[in-house]
Amino acid sequence: MRTRATDGRRAAVLGSPIAHSLSPVLHRAAYKELGLGDWSYDRFEVDEEGLPGFFGELGPEWAGLSLTMPLKRAVIPLLDEITETAASVEAVNTVVFTEDGRRVGDNTDVPGMVAALRERGIEAVDSAAVLGAGATASSALAALARICTGEVVAYVRSAARAAEMRQWGERLRIEVRTADWADAAQALRAPLVIATTPAGTTDALAAAVPERPATLFDVLYDPWPTNLAARWSGYGGAVVGGLDLLVHQAVLQVEQMTGRSPAPLDAMRSAGEHALAAR
């Protein structure tokens, strides 16, 4: 997918709530490095009800959109096409407006996770654990389907969530076993642990981190580090954070929207770090 790299193009991130989003910081840093000084990237508070109307007002100057909750599934009926990756998790976080006027949806969270792990030397694992069962957990399973050769154990709070995770496993063709959240401390001994839960949820698990932990991927980035990530790194374990994911998925978005590759990963990460520090 590729858009016209013409003058004065626009892009934005949509969602509700959206004020906290770091996407404008990352994309604007990329535009500066790429010499796209007349490109703009904004944020708009848009909910599911307002999404069709927002799309209806977009002009030819628009190159693409980033989408966060609760729009990742709501946008699908408004698109002309979605990629295989987006279809696999029924979630679109990237919309590219092509030169011929089509609206193409993609999901850069999945390859972004894989890229963030690869950056830390994690190319493959023989098993993994996932903490949580929300939308991010399904993306985690899709990423693990690319790098995990064995079983994934998902730790969840309800039978309904457990059933959903097993269904995602079948759909993504990865072996998923579910376990009760009460036993989540056992997850911390896996070669790779992906924490997909909201802030504070894993705090109580920090005391259970083993003396020689392997790799933790905690998708949160604010506040950072989480209690779990701090204890993990304190014991010498490798930690991949939410900013790593945010930057890598944004790199892919920039490349798709601008047609320029590679996007400036280091500059985007630095901009994100400075923005978080300022908070």
- Asked whether the bond before 223 is cis by omega within 30 degrees of 0, the reply is yes
Which residues make beta-bridge pairs with 64? 11, 96
Which of the following is catalytic: 9, 28, 72, 248? 72
Query: Residue type at 27?
Result: H
Name every residue whose Cβ is closer than 8 Å to that of residue 17 and which is 6 or more positions away in sequence.
45
Active site residue 32: no
**43-69 burial by CB neighbour count: b if 16+ within 10 A, else e?**
beebbeeebeebbeeeeeebbbbbbbb
- Catalytic machinery residues: 72
